[in-house]
Structure 1
Amino acid sequence: YYRFRNDLPEDSGKEERVFQIIHYTYRRNSYPEPKQIMKTAKSTCWSKRVEFGLYTSFQGGVFQLQKGDKIWVSVSNAPLICFDETSSFFGAFMLY
Structure 2
Amino acid sequence: MIFTATLFILIGIAIKHGKMYNLIAGYNTMSPEEKAKYNIEKIATLFRNVMIAMAVGILVSYGFASWLNIPKIKVFGMFASILIGLPYLLIMSNSKKYRK
Which entry has the higher C-alpha Rg, 1 or 2?
Answer: 1
Same structural fold, with TM-score higher than 0.5 when normalized by the shorter chain: no
Structure number with greater CO (CA < 8 Å, separation at least 6) is 1
Please, what TM-score do these two structures have when normalized by structure 2? 0.29
**Higher fraction of helix:** 2
